[in-house]
Amino acid sequence: MYLPSADRYTAMPYRRTGRSGLLLPALSLGLWHNFGGDRTPESQGEILRRAFDLGITHFDLANNYGPPPGSAEVAMGRALKTDFARLRDEIVISTKAGYHMWDGPYGEWGSAKSLRSSLDQSLTRLGVDYVDVFYSHRFDPDTPLEETMRALDSAVGQGKALYAGVSNYSAAQTREAARILDDLGTPLLIHQPRYSMLDRWVEDDGLLDALDELGTGSIAYSPLEQGILSDRYLRGIPEGSRAAGASPFLSADAVTPELVARLGALNELAQERGQSLAQLALAWVLRGGRVTSAVVGASSVAQLENSVAAVRNLEFGEEELTRIDELLKGATRS
C-alpha cells in the first residue's frame, strides 16, 4: 500500500488561485503525454506517486488526453483507486472538454450538449463523483458564449465540478466569459494558456493584465515548448525525440541551428544560476507570481524531479531578465 512522504508539503510553494480560496502548487503535473496506452500502468503510477511525494497536488487532464483519447483519465482513475483512494481530499483534479473526442456533431467544441456529455464521460473514466476544475478547452466561435458558460455553471451547480475554468481564450473572450459567469454566480477560477520564454502571446494580448483585473488565476501549459527549452536539443535533434517525428506537436523545422545556438547561451545562464535549462524556463514562467502554476509533463521520475527542483530558485535579477530577452530577440512568438 502506498504511503505518501510525510514531508511532501515542506518544499513545494503553493499559490492562491486568483481571489479564490484554492491554493495550487507552483508546478502541476500534466497528463497530456506519457499517460496513454503506450505506457505501462507501473511506470505511470510511479510518476504519479513521486509527484505527490514532491508536493504536486494538482493533476491536469482533458477528455482527449492519451493517446488514445480518454486513456489519461483512465490511468488517473486507476491511480486514484489503487494509490490515492484515501487521499482524494488532498488532490486537485482538473479536466477539460472542447477538442475532438468522439465522432459526430457533439464530440467537440463548446455546446452544452458536448460539455455536459464529456464531463459525465470523464467522471466515469476517473471513477470520481466530481472534478475540482472543469474547463472549456477552447473558444467556440459558432456557439453563443452564454451557452458554453451556462454549461460550466451547471456543472458547478450540480456538484460535478467545484470550479470553472477556460483555456486558450483571448483576453477579450476571457473578460466576456468572466462577466457571464459572474452574472450566473459562478466565478471564473482560472485560465490555462500556452506560455513560455518562446511564446509570449499572453503578454502581448493583455491576457495576464485581464486576469489580474478579474481576480482569475492562471496555469501555463507548454512552459518547456515540447522539450525545446530543455537540454534535449542543445546539440541538435536527437533520435527518438518529439522533433524527430515522435510527436505531431513539434517538427524538426522548429529546431534550427540558430535556435540551438540561442539555447546554448540560455543554458550557460542557467548554469550560472545553478539550474538546468528546463529549470530556468520554468522559473521564468513563474517569476513574479503572476502565473499561479505551470504544468509539466514527465516521462520518467528523473525528469519529474529535475522539473520540480526549479522551485528552489524562482527569483530573477533585472540583468538576468534583460539577458534572456536579448538572447531570444526575434525568436519569440506573440
Q: What is the pLDDT of residue 37?
A: 87
Please give the single-letter amino acid code of residue 150.
Answer: R
Domain borders along the chain are 14-226+291-298
How far is residue 108's CA from residue 215's CA, in Å, rounded to a whole number? 29
Closest CA to 242 of 299, 280, 197, 196: 299
Q: What is the pLDDT of residue 187?
A: 98
Cβ–Cβ < 8 Å for 320, 65: no
Cell numbers for 92: 486537485
Closest CA to 310 of 65, 60, 12, 87: 12
Q: What is the pLDDT of residue 242?
A: 56
Residues 14-226+291-298, CATH architecture: Alpha-Beta Barrel (3.20)
Taking the alpha carbons at both ends of the chain, their separation in whole angstroms is 47
Q: What is the pLDDT of residue 65?
A: 97
Predicted TM-score (pTM) of this structure = 0.94
How far is residue 44's CA from residue 262's CA, in Å, rounded to a whole number? 33
Splitting the chain (334 residues) into consecutive groups of 10 residues, what average pLDDT does each group show?
A: 97 98 98 92 97 98 96 98 97 98 97 98 98 98 98 98 98 98 98 98 98 98 94 75 55 79 96 98 97 97 98 98 96 75
Q: What is the pLDDT of residue 324?
A: 98
SS3 317: coil
Alpha-carbon distances of 111 from 101, 147, 152, rounded to whole Å: 14, 7, 11
SS3 64: coil
